[in-house]
Amino acid sequence: MEMDSHETQPIMTSSPQGRISLRPMTLSDVDDYMVWATDPKVARFCSWETCKSRDEGIKYITDSVLTHPWLRAICLEDDRPIGYILIMPVDKIRKEIGYVLARKYWGKGFATEAVRLVTAEIFKEFPEIERLEALVDVENVGSQRVLEKVGFTREGVMRRFYFMKGSVRDMIMFSFLPSDPLK
């Protein structure tokens, strides 16, 4: 699912609280990106290793972020990103959601708002999608709570499901269907 260039993508404003907005990321976000990308506590459950230099950050944004089919910076009122949220195609009818937030902004409901915003819009944007899913490490309780708060269904623990950073992890599968109610 190749997306249009980011200039023509709609900027999503936020849910009723109005605290965050979503927009495409740009290279000028690199310094804000480095805040979370260099943090091992943030990277703990991510497939990527922490970023080691600004140049590496620029390269990663250029090669992987700007080219991503669907990725949005999560921004506060000052339009500066505190994380990002993305949607990956799994197959013709399934997409997977992922998100990362700088640690300073954990525990305030920002990820929940971002996930709720995306979930509310994604089926209109991709009408062929029958299922939005998320895979969360069994130990990543914070991220599990985000999905539960939005109204995702916890389907079960997939044992020894995913090889990440040298170990095989149990992952919890969550899903949200077009017919599900958003919480």
Partner 1 sequence: MSQKEINQENSMEMDSQSMIKSAVNSSPPEKIHLRPMTLSDIDDFMVWATDSNVTRFCTWEPYTSRESAIAFINDVVLPHPWLRAICLDNDRPIGSISVTPVDKIRGEIGYVIGSKYWGKGIATEAVRLVAEEIFKEKPEMERLEALVDVDNVGSQKVLEKVGFVKEGVMRNFMYLKGNIRDMVMFSLLPSDSLH
- Residues within window 48-107 making contact with partner 1, judged by CB under 8 A: 91, 93-94
Q: Which amino acid is at 62?
A: T
- Taking CB under 8 A as the rule, does residue 151 contact partner 1? no
Angle between helices 110-125 and 141-150 (to 10 degrees): 50
The nearest distance, CB 78 to partner 1, in angstroms, is: 39
Query: Apex CA 148: angle with CA 144 and CA 154, to 5°?
Result: 75
39 contacts partner 1 (rule: CB under 8 A): no
Task: Show the site string, 99-138: x = touches partner 1 by CB under 8 A, - = not.
Answer: -------------------------------xx-------
Q: Which of 41, 52, 160, 165 binds partner 1 (CB under 8 A)?
A: 160
Minimum Å gap between C-beta 43 and partner 1 is: 21
List the structure tokens of 125.
Answer: 């944007």
How many of the chain's residues bind partner 1 (CB under 8 A)?
18
* Comparison of 94 and 103: residue with beta carbon closer to partner 1: 94
The dihedrals phi and psi of 36, each to the nearest 5 degrees, come to -85, -30
Distances (CA, A) of 94 to 32, 90, 132, 133: 31, 5, 6, 7
